[in-house]
Amino acid sequence: MKFLKLNKDQTQKLFLSLIGFIALIYVYFTFFLGPLQRSRDNALKSIEETHEKIASSKTEMSKATRLEDQAKTATTQFAALRALSPEGAPIAWFPPRIKSFFANQQIDKVTARMETSSQPKEKELATWSTYNWVIQMPQADYSTLGKTVAALENSEPLLSVMKVSIHAAIEDPEFQQVTLTAAMLLEKR
């Protein structure tokens, strides 16, 4: 109990010590331990996030590998369909191609002209365009025409004949005047 009997000077010193202690605690937690703790917490959080990213990346990569296997058919088919659209403006290559095709089927004097072009409604076909063509045959035999249309429909999977107009030729009754309106999907290049 004698120890607690402090004189004024001692009381002041004790008070100062207490203030110093509080200041030390404050400085320690605010400027030393606190930032260290925060830095540690951040690092732990970053480690967790990085591990999660690595784990999800493995899933993503395996998904992509699986998708690659699954999409083999689609990829091959897509490449084949793309190959149907040669480089250059369609108006430059489509009419000669059609003319040559019909000539090979014994139908001559075929003309093909572009009527309109438009953007397909489907969002998946954003890089494709629909071209509407008018193919005119002033002289075609019905049977040959049928075979040719069949061959055309089979060889051009992206072409669909939207209108057919067959009229008996007045000058030559053995033949018909034919007009086909066809829509063809072509990739924009």
Partner 1 sequence: MALNLNFLHEEIEQQRQRQRDPLKIGMMVLTMIGVGMFLYYMWNAYQTLEIKSRLNAAQADWAKVEPKVTAAKKRAAELNSIIGTTKVLNDMMESRFYWAPLLEQVAKCVAPNTQLTSLEGSVLDDKKGVSIVIEGTAAGREPRAAAEDLRQMLLEQLGQTYKDVKIEFKALEDLDTIVAVSGTNMAMARYSLVITLNPDTGKATAAPAPVRAVKTP
Interacting residues with partner 1 between 89 and 118 (CB under 8 A): none
Question: In the bound complex, what is the minimum distance in angstroms from residue 8's beta carbon to partner 1?
Answer: 12
Q: How far is the CB of 108 from partner 1 (least distance, A)?
A: 18
Cα separation, 141 vs 168, whole angstroms: 10
Residue from 17, 30, 116, 119 that binds partner 1 (CB under 8 A)?
Answer: 17
Tokens linked to 28: 């320690």
153 near partner 1, judged by CB under 8 A: yes
Closest distance between partner 1 and the C-beta of residue 134, in Å?
Answer: 13
Nearest to 134 by CA among 106, 164, 105, 108: 164
144: Cβ contacts below 8 Å, ≥ 6 apart: 105, 106, 107
Q: Select from 30, 43, 106, 189 the one that contacts partner 1 (CB under 8 A).
A: 43
Q: Which is nearer to partner 1, 92 or 108 (CB)?
A: 108
Nearest approach in angstroms of CB 92 to partner 1 is 23
| # residues contacting partner 1 (CB under 8 A) | 76
> Which of 128, 184, 125 is closest to 157 using CA atoms?
184
Stretch that binds partner 1, among 92-100, 111-119, 131-139, 154-162 (CB under 8 A): 154-162
For residues 159 and 182, the answer to whether their CB atoms sit within 8 Å is yes
Nearest Cα to Cα of residue 144 among 171, 108, 96: 108
CB 185 within 8 A of CB 160: no
Kindly state the smallest distance separating residue 157's Cβ from partner 1, in Å: 5
Among the listed residues 44, 91, 92, 103, the single contact to partner 1 using CB under 8 A: 44
